[in-house]
Structure 1
Amino acid sequence: MTRITIVTDAWHPQVNGVVRSIERTNAELERMGVTVTMLTPLAFRTIPCPTYPEIRLSLTLPGRFAREIAKGQPSYVHIATEGPLGIYACRWCRKTGTPYTTSYHTRFPEYVSARLPIPQSWLYALMRRFHNSSEGCMVATDSLARDLRARGFRNLMRWSRGIDAELFRPRPDSILDLPRPIFMNVGRVSVEKNLAAFLDLDLPGTKVVVGDGPMLEAMRRRYPDVVFTGAKFGEELARHYAAADVFVFPSRTDTFGNVLLEALASGLPVAAFPVMGPADIIGDHPVGVLDEDLRKAALGALGVSREACRRHALTYSWAASARQFLTNIRLANGEDVGQPLAAI
């Protein structure tokens, strides 16, 4: 029996792409007969991360951590984050000889340097050391792989993402009674999401921001004409997507952007900068507009076919994502899995 322990510093009550990706992958792996054990901050005492209190940093000692991870009796370990638990997991795996992989979800150096005066080169050196010690580092897109390889990262493997196309779908009715067109963003209201680049645009109709985060109240005061709904989940979130006309994604630091797939599956065209994430998902497909002039992209996206957006999103699935994840683990640990399609 395959037993995988996934170690992550990002977990509930956080709401982000890392948490959602791990949850959906776990569900698919279990359908495939894989036993998955999670090791998260919920097992330890935590403190809030400075400047980002929604993130909880685990406080523990090596002996306590070793006892917790051993409970899962893992045949493989996957380390999803580079925080305190991720560091402990690396040390435990090396000490016990347990094979492990990592994944690069977040452009951590850019996020930290947006808050603190720390050179990105120092932070990338730490990240490189962390990930290069594993048998394989999983990345979501080809552009991220190229970027990391140029920075000295090794053993990179592709692990794409999926979409719940039954939940996120076009709807005949609209939950939003607002002046049209409706330009929407969904995600954390925080500095690294670059929301001002969207909210400062001179656009017709209404701007809507769905999400919570440390800058929510400040943004509400700064942009009184913008509709801030707070966080939405499940059916209510899906209905918000479907009620909009264009999804505007101003982030320049996301490595993938799960929200892009959620928007496309809802029939919502995307306007974004031509950067990592949007360039990989949208690319040359006629499902959005990528431009350094974000206003031009947003207005241009109004003419994009909603049916084309939906069709493109349906090329992604969580089942395929989970199979790729499992293949990566087996490849990294020397198993014969046939054609090594997941390796890059």
Structure 2
Amino acid sequence: MRILIVTDAWRPQVNGVVRTLTETIRELQSFGHEVEMITPQSFATLPCPTYPDIRLSLFPYRKVARLIAAYQPEAIHIATEGPLGLAARRYCLRNGQAFTTAYHTRFPEYIHARTRLPLSISYAWMRRFHNASSAIMAPTQSIVDALAARGFNKVVLWSRGVDTELFSPGPRDRLDESEPPRFVYIGRVAVEKNIEAFLKLDLPGSKWVVGDGPLLAKLKKHYPEVHFAGIFPQAELVRFYRAADVFVFPSLTDTFGLVLLEAMACGTPVAAFPVAGPLDVVGDSGAGVLRDDLRQACLEAMQLDRQHVRAVAERFSWQAAARQFEHHLRPNASHPAPEANIRAFDHPQ
């Protein structure tokens, strides 16, 4: 099958969308599919307001239309709601071409955090964008249910995986001369990640933030005792995951949180709030502790068995996730979707 994926998020960006698409494409090609992409790398771009690392393509419709027409894809997947996604959607609707979309990011909540724009306005726009598709792929069952409750149609589950060879237990470097325990956050340093909820905690040992983003300079100034390590290639993140006694995930708005799986695959337990994402990935599995009191979650997570944490991560497969994706590209398929490689865990008591 010739598959075209259109995305506004692509390299050199480092985020969950890019990682998910990279792994999915690799698996699809291993299944024998031909995959072509339309990304910002082929367009003139400008930096996204408030988030300059994200590049927005300028006036892309004509070129997007030419690329789609030339490739003649058998399936089109629109991964993002940016300029390229809008252009591809417009082409498909004009030409009667079916397409699928994905809900990777809670943009209404992100926009609200930055501008205070009411969620109802953003969700109305998102519904209009996605409801024209033959399937809206969401990463967890709780997100599927939440979107359906907000009037999104044909929402289906497309789970996620983890590279358990790259992310694996191993030597636990000290990182610096400070005494353990080490509490580590890895991810974008941006307001929607709620990082200050972690940095404000009174915890023993040291706190580490690994990543970059628009909030970095401010947080460095306000929290001089915190170790800000900067950004690293994916392969080098393993050192930080392994060294951590607890991986702290303070976000309240992520749809999944691939970093949760990466930490768990390295044997590092998770401390997080009991919200969508952590509830689906960690839940009551024993791989982490979810509490409204994040400090208590951090302290309790230190007591968990790292071997068990690793075993939980091994349940997640990129191959199984890609099979789900493949199935959803065929809206008239009569056979059921492949079984999800995650389940919704109960809230830990």
Whether the TM-score (by the shorter chain) exceeds 0.5 is yes
For residues 182-201 of structure 1, what are the alpha-carbon distances to aligned partners after superposition, in whole Å with 9 as ceiling and x for unaligned?
00000000100000000000
Provide the rounded CA distance (Å) in 2 between the counterparts of 1:41 and 1:339: 34
RMSD (CA atoms): 1.3
Provide the rounded CA distance (Å) in 1 between the counterparts of 2:39 and 2:292: 38
Kept in 2, the 8 Å contact 1:167–1:234? The answer is: no
Amino acid at match of 2:47: P
Deviation at 1:68, TM superposition (A): 2.1
Q: 1:339 aligns with which of 336, 341, 346?
A: 336
For residues 1-46 of structure 1, what are the alpha-carbon distances to aligned partners after superposition, in whole Å with 9 as ceiling and x for unaligned?
x011000111112110000000000001001111111101111111
* Residue in 2 that maps onto 1:77: 76
Q: Secondary structure at the match of 1:162?
A: coil
Provide the rounded CA distance (Å) in 2 between the counterparts of 1:175 and 1:203: 18
Q: Secondary structure at the match of 1:60?
A: coil
Q: Tell me the TM-score normalised to structure 1 length.
A: 0.96
* Residue in 1 that maps onto 2:347: none
Provide the rounded CA distance (Å) in 2 between the counterparts of 1:106 and 1:214: 17
Q: Secondary structure at the match of 2:145?
A: helix
Provide the rounded CA distance (Å) in 1 between the counterparts of 2:60 and 2:20: 28
Q: CA 1:325–1:175 in 2, change beyond 3 Å: closer, same or farther?
A: farther
Amino acid at match of 1:101: T
For residues 195-229 of structure 1, what are the alpha-carbon distances to aligned partners after superposition, in whole Å with 9 as ceiling and x for unaligned?
00000000000001111111112111111111111
* Residue in 1 that maps onto 2:231: 231
Provide the rounded CA distance (Å) in 1 between the counterparts of 2:131 and 2:71: 25
Kept in 1, the 8 Å contact 2:324–2:337? The answer is: no
Structure 2: runs of 5 or more not aligned: 341-349
Provide the rounded CA distance (Å) in 2 between the counterparts of 1:234 and 1:101: 28
Question: What aligned pairs does 1:1-344 form with structure 2 within 5 A after superposition?
Answer: 2-174=1-173, 176-177=175-176, 178-330=178-330, 332=331, 334-336=332-334, 338-341=335-338
Provide the rounded CA distance (Å) in 1 between the counterparts of 2:187 and 2:106: 16
Amino acid at match of 2:77: H
Identity %: 55
Provide the rounded CA distance (Å) in 2 between the counterparts of 1:340 and 1:172: 39
Q: CA 1:148–1:342 in 2, change beyond 3 Å: closer, same or farther?
A: farther
Kept in 2, the 8 Å contact 1:179–1:206? The answer is: yes
Q: Secondary structure at the match of 1:71?
A: helix
Provide the rounded CA distance (Å) in 1 between the counterparts of 2:168 and 2:121: 43
Provide the rounded CA distance (Å) in 1 between the counterparts of 2:338 and 2:17: 23
Amino acid at match of 2:240: H
Deviation at 1:284, TM superposition (A): 1.1
Q: Which shows bigger deviation, 53-62 or 95-104?
A: 53-62
Provide the rounded CA distance (Å) in 2 between the counterparts of 1:125 and 1:173: 47
Deviation at 1:235, TM superposition (A): 3.0
Deviation at 1:117, TM superposition (A): 3.2
Q: Secondary structure at the match of 2:311?
A: helix
Q: Secondary structure at the match of 1:36?
A: strand
Provide the rounded CA distance (Å) in 2 between the counterparts of 1:123 and 1:165: 37
Give the aligned length.
Answer: 339
Provide the rounded CA distance (Å) in 2 between the counterparts of 1:193 and 1:175: 26
Deviation at 1:323, TM superposition (A): 0.8
For residues 238-296 of structure 1, what are the alpha-carbon distances to aligned partners after superposition, in whole Å with 9 as ceiling and x for unaligned?
11100110000000000000000000000000000000000001111111110000000
Structure 1: runs of 5 or more not aligned: none
Provide the rounded CA distance (Å) in 1 between the counterparts of 2:213 and 2:68: 31
Provide the rounded CA distance (Å) in 1 between the counterparts of 2:223 and 2:145: 37
